[in-house]
A and B are shown apart, each in its own frame.
Chain A
Amino acid sequence: METVRCRVARFASDLASLSARLPPEHINTAPSLSSTPPPPFLYGCCSKVGRACALSVLFFLEAPLTHRTMADPDCDFQTGESGASATYPMQCSALRKNGYVVLKGRPCKIVEMSTSKTGKHGHAKVNLVGIDIFTNKKYEDMCPSTHNMDVPDIKRLDYQLVNISENYMSLMSDNGDVREDLRVPENEVGKEIEAKFEAGEDFLVTVISAMGEECAIATKIKQKRPAVGKKAKRGASWKFTLDLTHPVEARDPGLYQTL
């Protein structure tokens, strides 16, 4: 019959053998969190089909995305206003700084995130501090790391500013649609928009939309692109036509050397 003392001594030696097996400083490293690799960014492909395939892959990926959607009259992924896709759940431990999360019903960008391990306070918990992307108010929340939190579906779209009338902006999207339902925002971005418009500058307005709300958040210098209505294709400068009616030598005898 083992005495109390022997049993405790056996436990102490078990502890020592356990530490020999585990890597040192194991406890001080952050818990290994399952991280999904960031989705590939899409800047544009030459082929319309390739772009459509890549866009459809992006559309169904679950991680929070910040991407630019290319306007394409054939597959239009811009409008997705159904309330069902406004947020999706994600495990708290998979959230990252500079990601997005819904805090107190507001879509927020995470500015601080700290995890406290399981201990006297119970299960491991994540402390999140986020800033509302529309109102810039700070929100704080605490969540057990195994619970799910809602992540808002953020869409960023660039529009060209056509006109400002009665404080409402006329914005033209890449495919030619004009919308006039957005006000000039009350902050520095709004002032910047007005100033640039007065100066007659040609620029784009980035509109962020999440959970049924939309707001202009930045201006961007317009990149050199063909006029509205035409698709912007890479390699458009070296477009060539294939003329099969005449032999090659007849067009430019010096250019192509026969082998």
Chain B
Amino acid sequence: MADHAPSVAMEAVLKPSCDLPEDMPKIKGYDFNQGVDLHAVLKSYLTTGFQASSLGLAIQEINHMIEKRLEPVEAEGNECNESGESPRNSGCTIFLGYTSNLISSGVRESIRYLAEHKMVDVIVTTAGGIEEDLIKCLAHTYLGDFSLPGKELRLRGINRIGNLLVPNDNYCKFEDWLMPILDQMLLEQNTEGTRWTPSKMIHRLGKEINNTESVYYWAYKNNIPVFSPALTDGSLGDMIYFHSYKNPGLVLDIVEDIRKLNSQAVFAKKTGMIILGGGLVKHHIANANLMRNGADFSVYINTGQEFDGSDSGARPDEAISWGKIRTDAKPVKVYADASLVFPLIVAETFALHADKLTAGKKTD
């Protein structure tokens, strides 16, 4: 008599399934027999599964943002905010947030591209995100390795950011460049009554660096406000600290900045958030969007996990519970290192629609 498989097992394994609807997307990756077409590869990500699908969805979400942004907006004169700029000029105000390690890496070039062509409206970053960009205009950052021993690097005066290397000398050059600017800022504060805020300071630094490779040079040129409430948490803060001994009195007002940032969100027609990383940049943008009852479009790219209850690891659904994202929105979180995916995203979104995005600016 043949051995029958136990019926319990059979029933468990061969449990009949109900039919899935026909229009459910089917998993199919890219076929390299078609040749190497990177554009098609990225398109196929949507049906590849796991984070590739998330990436495909993120690209779609950002393309929706861009579509809305390109929609013409009737000029409403009574809706201008205090600074005189009307965010309603754009059909969708895009907030871009990123952590400082991305500026240290080559993602800085992608971000600079976005600032250069005014493809984003508001930038939020940390102090390192400002100074690393300015320092790169004065001296280079090098590729190293995660495994380089810290002790030996310290002997040589080299700092390690992941697998990047930044010599101490770069910061010395930054100090020599920055101190006269701080003196000038203090002078203007005392004589002309300028009220400095972090965003005004970054605007000024972008003007002073005068280098087309810098993100903040283009942010200054295109009047993109850059917010960094924790501007003192980095080398910039060290410089400000030392400067306060030689030439005390410089004041940075974060109150004026929060008014400005929240107004950007409140008076916007529609908003989109693209947040690379966690921490301050993620929460600050989300909170500003809370003021308008939630962002319409949202893309998070970070490696945070939610099990510890941190805000950095929180999924977009948690933000919906706070009112930071609209309840009818379709936010996307990509669990990936932004250095890997952000250039690909820009390739499929902003760079793809570059002519349309920049056409409007040329006619302005």
Q: What is the distance, in angstroms, from A204's C-beta to the closest C-beta of chain B?
A: 39
- CB of A18 within 8 A of CB of B143, answer no
- Residue numbers in B under 8 Å from A27 (CB-CB): 151, 154-155
Tell me, in angstroms, the Cα distance from A18 to B156 when the chains sit together. Answer: 9
B147 lies within 8 A of chain A by Cβ = yes
Tier of interface size on chain A: 20 to 34
Tell me, in angstroms, the Cα distance from A170 to B157 when the chains sit together. Answer: 60
Tell me, in angstroms, the Cα distance from A122 to B239 when the chains sit together. Answer: 8
- CB of A8 within 8 A of CB of B145, answer yes
Binary CB contact string for chain B from 157 to 184 against chain A (1 if under 8 A, 0 otherwise) = 1010000000010011011100000000
Tell me, in angstroms, the Cα distance from A118 to B158 when the chains sit together. Answer: 10
Interface residues of A in 1-54 (CB under 8 A from B): 4, 8-9, 11-12, 15-16, 18-19, 22, 26-27
- Residue numbers in B under 8 Å from A12 (CB-CB): 145, 147-148
Q: What is the distance, in angstroms, from B154's C-beta to the closest C-beta of chain A?
A: 6
Known: A121-B171, A123-B175. A26 touches B155 (CB 8 A): yes
Tell me, in angstroms, the Cα distance from A12 to B156 when the chains sit together. Answer: 12
- CB of B242 within 8 A of CB of A118, answer no
B15 lies within 8 A of chain A by Cβ = no
A180 lies within 8 A of chain B by Cβ = no
- CB of A142 within 8 A of CB of B155, answer no
Known: A12-B148, A120-B235. A125 touches B155 (CB 8 A): no
- Residue numbers in B under 8 Å from A15 (CB-CB): 148-149, 152-153, 156
Interface residues of B in 244-276 (CB under 8 A from A): 245-246
Among B148, B168, B234, which residue has the most Cβ atoms of chain A within 10 A? B168
- Residue numbers in B under 8 Å from A105 (CB-CB): none
Q: What is the distance, in angstroms, from A224's C-beta to the closest C-beta of chain B?
A: 49
A119 lies within 8 A of chain B by Cβ = yes
A192 lies within 8 A of chain B by Cβ = no
- CB of A8 within 8 A of CB of B143, answer yes
- Residue numbers in B under 8 Å from A8 (CB-CB): 143-145
- Residue numbers in A under 8 Å from B159 (CB-CB): 119-120
Known: A12-B145, A19-B155. A142 touches B171 (CB 8 A): no
- CB of A119 within 8 A of CB of B171, answer yes
- CB of A121 within 8 A of CB of B156, answer no
Q: What is the distance, in angstroms, from B44's C-beta to the closest C-beta of chain A?
A: 28
- CB of A122 within 8 A of CB of B171, answer yes
Q: What is the distance, in angstroms, from B88's C-beta to the closest C-beta of chain A?
A: 41
- Residue numbers in B under 8 Å from A121 (CB-CB): 171, 175, 235, 238-239, 241-242
- CB of A118 within 8 A of CB of B157, answer yes
- Residue numbers in A under 8 Å from B235 (CB-CB): 120-122
Tier of interface size on chain B: 20 to 34
Q: What is the distance, in angstroms, from A193's C-beta to the closest C-beta of chain B?
A: 37
Tell me, in angstroms, the Cα distance from A8 to B158 when the chains sit together. Answer: 14
- CB of A122 within 8 A of CB of B152, answer no
Q: What is the distance, in angstroms, from A150's C-beta to the closest C-beta of chain B?
A: 14
- CB of B172 within 8 A of CB of A123, answer yes
Tell me, in angstroms, the Cα distance from A73 to B123 when the chains sit together. Answer: 76
A141 lies within 8 A of chain B by Cβ = yes
A140 lies within 8 A of chain B by Cβ = yes
Tell me, in angstroms, the Cα distance from A22 to B172 when the chains sit together. Answer: 24
Tell me, in angstroms, the Cα distance from A15 to B145 when the chains sit together. Answer: 12
Binary CB contact string for chain A from 129 to 151 against chain B (1 if under 8 A, 0 otherwise) = 00000000000111100000000
Tell me, in angstroms, the Cα distance from A4 to B142 when the chains sit together. Answer: 11
Q: What is the distance, in angstroms, from B141's C-beta to the closest C-beta of chain A?
A: 14
Q: What is the distance, in angstroms, from B266's C-beta to the closest C-beta of chain A?
A: 37
Q: What is the distance, in angstroms, from A92's C-beta to the closest C-beta of chain B?
A: 12
- Residue numbers in A under 8 Å from B151 (CB-CB): 19, 27
Tell me the nearest residue of chain B to A19, going by C-beta.
B152
Tell me, in angstroms, the Cα distance from A231 to B36 when the chains sit together. Answer: 103
- Residue numbers in B under 8 Å from A120 (CB-CB): 159, 168, 171, 234-235, 238
Q: What is the distance, in angstroms, from B248's C-beta to the closest C-beta of chain A?
A: 10
Tell me, in angstroms, the Cα distance from A57 to B234 when the chains sit together. Answer: 49
Among A27, A121, A125, A141, which residue has the most Cβ atoms of chain B within 10 A? A121
Tell me, in angstroms, the Cα distance from A16 to B156 when the chains sit together. Answer: 11
Question: Could you jot down 24 A-B contacts, CB within 8 Å?
Answer: A8-B145, A12-B147, A15-B149, A18-B156, A19-B152, A27-B151, A27-B154, A27-B155, A118-B157, A118-B168, A119-B159, A119-B171, A120-B159, A120-B171, A121-B175, A121-B238, A121-B239, A121-B242, A122-B172, A122-B174, A122-B238, A125-B242, A140-B245, A141-B245
> Which residues of B approach A to under 8 Å, CB–CB?
143-145, 147-149, 151-157, 159, 168, 171-172, 174-176, 234-235, 238-239, 241-242, 245-246
> Which residues of A approach B to under 8 Å, CB–CB?
4, 8-9, 11-12, 15-16, 18-19, 22, 26-27, 118-123, 125, 140-143
Extra inter-chain contacts (7) besides given A120-B235, A142-B241, A143-B245, CB under 8 Å? A16-B149, A19-B152, A120-B168, A120-B234, A122-B242, A142-B242, A142-B245
